Amino acid sequence: MAKSVMPNAIVLEVLNKHNYVDWSEIVQSYLEAKGFWDVVKPSNPDDHDHDEAWRKKNAAALHAIKISCGPDTLPVIRGIRSARTAWDILEAKFKPQLPVIVKSLYRTGGDQEKNANNGHDKQYEPFFEALKKNEWKTIKELYTDNPNLLKATLPFGNIPVLHHFLLMTKAMHNVEDMLVEMLQTGPTEALEMKNFRGATSLAVASALGIIRFAECIVQRRGDLVGIPNDLEWIPVVVALGFGRNHMARYLYSVTPLRVLSTDHDGKHGATLITKSIEVRNLDIAIDLLRRHPDLTFAKDIYGRSPVYAVACAPSLFYSGHELRFWRRWIYNTPQGDDIYINIPNQNDGQATGKNILWSVLMGFLRALASLVPKLLGIQHLQEMKLVHVRATELLFRMHKAIETADVNKMKDGLVYDALFEAVDRGNFDFIIKLSGVKIELQQGFDDKSRNIFMRAIQSRQAEIFSLIYLEGDEIKLSTSVMEDKFKNNLLHIAGMLAPPRVLNRISGATLQMQRELQWFKEVEKVVPSSALTSENFEDMTPRDYFTMNHKDLVIAGEKWMKGTATSCTVVGALIVTIMFAVAFQVPGGNNQDTGYPIFVNKKLFKVFIVSDAISLFSSTTSVLTFLGILTSRYSEEDFLTSLPTKMIVGLSTLFFSIATMIISFCAVIFIMFRSASWILIPVVLLAVIPIALFAWMQFPLLVEIFMSTYGPSIFNRKIGIKLKSLVDEMLYLEKLEKQRPA
């Protein structure tokens, strides 16, 4: 049946979130025809007598506006009594606005607009007025009569007209075809016009990510792909900067290599690579480096080289992520297309009721199957692994360029700076894969005459420092006796305080102090005995230097330990008092003849007695342990093992005493109310809460202290196994490179 339209309907379609432009034009025409428009948009808003005639016109106009609104838009003006106010509210709410991206590309201002108005010809005024009102039919007619209108600059905002059209397509899709026609037939001078940030029309289209527009512009003005804006970004870099990866790939395919190569100082090419690294779109960077390896050493507009940008991005590699064991298992599992659940379409017959039901069921299962990778994090891990694989190939390209480069070229290309930056950030994969099969990391020095192992100690990068275990005795000895320009040896540097970003990853000042001591002790095993008494420029031995730099951390650790021990002592003492008193007030009382408890032969009574005794003894042990912490002397060495061990014992016994206290209480309840299950079940469930609460709040701390004290060492003496796998990846890429046809 055809859709009916009321005979008194003002609009064909009530106002919704998408049709304001057409709706407002129709309603405005209706109000003008009825003579009501002057109350909506009066010529002088402050001049109203508000007489009876005006009130009637206002009511009629307001009624026309409201009955033209839909169920989603009418509540916006519910309760409004002024037609003008209602119209302004709807306009502000539903009129298409320039997309957010406009605010990042343009700015407007009173002075700018005033200056622009003074410089424009009168012939543009109808065109500008139509633009303000979004009257696209009028705009099309005016452009057909005069295509040079595209060369104008808007008086409101000082924006090139063509740029305005490009930006409006994000808010109004119905102008896209008209704009394509303008791009194909309009004056080419309009395409090269720049906004206040020096962006051409191609740069604006790149930021918007509309490839259709970019293709039209490139066909007519291909040279625009190499024209940068005021930020020195060429269009392909603009596309990457705004996250338009598909647009970036298209623009890269049409950008001449001479624009990106080192023949033009390589600035644009290096910027494209560093921006690709920043946004993790590495396929462009890999292809460009394959064509122009020398871009490895070129500087981008910010003075960084591509190799330095990779060093600053440890998340490009597996070592830059801390994955839980099950995520590591998924990551290391070969992940092809079979990782997704594919359900074949079995609805090949006629659309019977059974087939329709089957189709709906299959659609539901497909949707469920597509959610599985997301829920399990498989899809994220796949994307992460793809980035890691591409980053390895990117480093391989850089490694090939560095192999044939001289020292000066490597210095100019910030290769040595990148190496030390990678050490500071813990970018282990970068260090190994960049150096390839030759691990000559100790040969470079920074501005303080520190080699890579000294920087690893300074930055507290245990995995990188562990590379020293792979060196021969001669090289290891020469490294261990090295001094920087301040006469600091390896042990002096271990005596420095770790960077804040490293300390902040460790819970509590006590564990931070423990980790600092572990570093000092480990480096002490590497250096010769003479290094223990060697003095730096401050006339301090490594131990004195360590004490001076860590005195505040010792005070903070002592404060944390005493605060924790004091709080736990109060809890433990309270449990001791309760459980001692309960032992002499057994449930049911004693037999008057024998003096033994009445329920002495009950199994639950035995559970009560045993759990009470265990709770009493463990809480007593906990209190004594925490008292030992409070009375400790808090020397530096105590933070290594003694104090953490006491904290482990104290927290463990306190947790055990709380658990057995709850068990003892539950046993009494079962004895007294063994036939009333409606009482027992809620009590048991509630009894679990304090145990779970304590475990949730304190157990992670207990585990962290235990692992830090007795867990695996942070220093990997078997680093060669991991090193071999990383080198094998580079050798595999080398093999593929040799098999590549010329």
Contact 166, 213 (CB under 8 A): yes
Residue type, 542: P
- Cα-based angle 472, 444, 303 (whole degrees, multiple of 5): 150
Give the per-residue pLDDT at 650: 93
Contact 159, 204 (CB under 8 A): no
Contact 553, 509 (CB under 8 A): yes
The SS3 assignment for 153 reads: strand
* CA atoms of 402 and 281, how far apart (whole Å): 23
pLDDT band at 29 (very low <50, low <70, confident <90, very high): confident
Contact 229, 205 (CB under 8 A): no
Give the per-residue pLDDT at 365: 62
What pLDDT, in 10s, does the model give residues 66-114?
Answer: 888 888 888 888 888 888 888 888 887 887 654 444 444 444 333 334 3
**CB-based contacts of 534, cutoff 8 Å, min separation 6:** 483, 487, 489, 491, 492, 541, 542
Alpha-carbon 610 to chain mean position: 52
Give, in order, the Cα–Cα distances in Å from 234 to each of 115, 207, 287, 295. Answer: 29, 11, 18, 17
The SS3 assignment for 144 reads: helix
Strand partners, 590: 597
Alpha-helix residue ranges (DSSP H) falling in 52-148: 52-67, 83-94, 100-105, 110-118, 125-132, 136-145
Average pLDDT over residues 355-361: 58
Extract the tokens encoding 636: 């530096």
The SS3 assignment for 69 reads: strand
* CA atoms of 594 and 585, how far apart (whole Å): 16
Give the per-residue pLDDT at 741: 63
Average pLDDT over residues 674-703: 75
**CB-based contacts of 292, cutoff 8 Å, min separation 6:** 257, 260, 261, 262, 266, 269
Give, in order, the Cα–Cα distances in Å from 513 to each of 454, 475, 599. Answer: 20, 31, 53
Give the per-residue pLDDT at 573: 92
Q: Residue 639 above 90 pLDDT?
A: yes
Alpha-helix residue ranges (DSSP H) falling in 343-451: 353-375, 378-403, 407-412, 415-425, 428-435
Which stretch of DSSP H or E encloses residue 505? Answer: none
* CA atoms of 96 and 274, how far apart (whole Å): 36
Q: Residue 717 above 80 pLDDT?
A: no
- Residue at token pair 């970004």: 233
* CA atoms of 667 and 607, how far apart (whole Å): 7
Average pLDDT over residues 527-550: 92
Residue that wins the pLDDT comparison between 675 and 653:
653
Average pLDDT over residues 637-666: 91
Residue that wins the pLDDT comparison between 476 and 15:
15
* CA atoms of 737 and 742, how far apart (whole Å): 10
* CA atoms of 696 and 689, how far apart (whole Å): 10
Give the per-residue pLDDT at 1: 40
Give the per-residue pLDDT at 271: 93
Q: Could you tell me which of 408, 409, 384 has the C-alpha nearest to residue 398?
A: 409
Residue that wins the pLDDT comparison between 105 and 40:
40
The SS3 assignment for 438 reads: coil
Contact 442, 420 (CB under 8 A): no
What pLDDT, in 10s, does the model give residues 109-163?
Answer: 333 343 344 344 566 677 777 766 667 777 777 777 777 878 888 765 567 888 8
Extract the tokens encoding 633: 């002397």
Residue that wins the pLDDT comparison between 506 and 599:
506
Tell me which range, 178-182, 263-267, 452-456, 685-689, is most confidently predicted by mean pLDDT: 452-456
Secondary structure (DSSP) of 456-497: HHHHT-HHHHGGGGGS-HHHHHHHHT---TT---HHHHHTSP
Which stretch of DSSP H or E encloses residue 42? Answer: none
The SS3 assignment for 172 reads: coil
Q: Residue 7 above 80 pLDDT?
A: no
Contact 57, 36 (CB under 8 A): yes
* CA atoms of 572 and 623, how far apart (whole Å): 6
How would you class 642 by CB atoms within 10 Å of its CB: exposed for 0-12, middle for 13-18, buried for 19 or more? Answer: middle
Contact 143, 131 (CB under 8 A): no
Contact 124, 77 (CB under 8 A): no
* CA atoms of 565 and 78, how far apart (whole Å): 63
* CA atoms of 69 and 86, how far apart (whole Å): 11
What pLDDT, in 10s, does the model give residues 195-207?
Answer: 878 889 999 999 9
* CA atoms of 729 and 686, how far apart (whole Å): 55
User: What percentage of the chain carries pLDDT values higher than 90?
Assistant: 26
Q: Residue 462 above 80 pLDDT?
A: yes
Rg (CA), the chain: 38
- Cα-based angle 731, 734, 737 (whole degrees, multiple of 5): 155
Extract the tokens encoding 214: 């970019």
Contact 444, 419 (CB under 8 A): yes
137 DSSP 8-state letter: H
* CA atoms of 505 and 561, how far apart (whole Å): 18
The SS3 assignment for 15 reads: strand
How would you class 710 by CB atoms within 10 Å of its CB: exposed for 0-12, middle for 13-18, buried for 19 or more? Answer: exposed
Alpha-carbon 256 to chain mean position: 34
Residues across the chain: 742
Residue that wins the pLDDT comparison between 542 and 597:
542
10-14, 273-277, 334-338, 513-517, range with the lowest pLDDT = 334-338
Extract the tokens encoding 292: 């122009």
* CA atoms of 659 and 656, how far apart (whole Å): 5
Which stretch of DSSP H or E encloses residue 548? Answer: helix 542-582
Secondary structure (DSSP) of 225-278: GG---TTS--HHHHHHHTT-HHHHHHHHHHS-HHHHSGGGTTHHHHHHHHHHHH
What pLDDT, in 10s, does the model give residues 376-412?
Answer: 556 666 777 788 888 888 988 888 888 888 888 888 8
pLDDT band at 622 (very low <50, low <70, confident <90, very high): very high
**CB-based contacts of 632, cutoff 8 Å, min separation 6:** 561, 638, 642, 643, 646
Contact 658, 690 (CB under 8 A): yes
Alpha-helix residue ranges (DSSP H) falling in 325-377: 325-332, 353-375
Residue type, 135: E
Contact 706, 646 (CB under 8 A): no
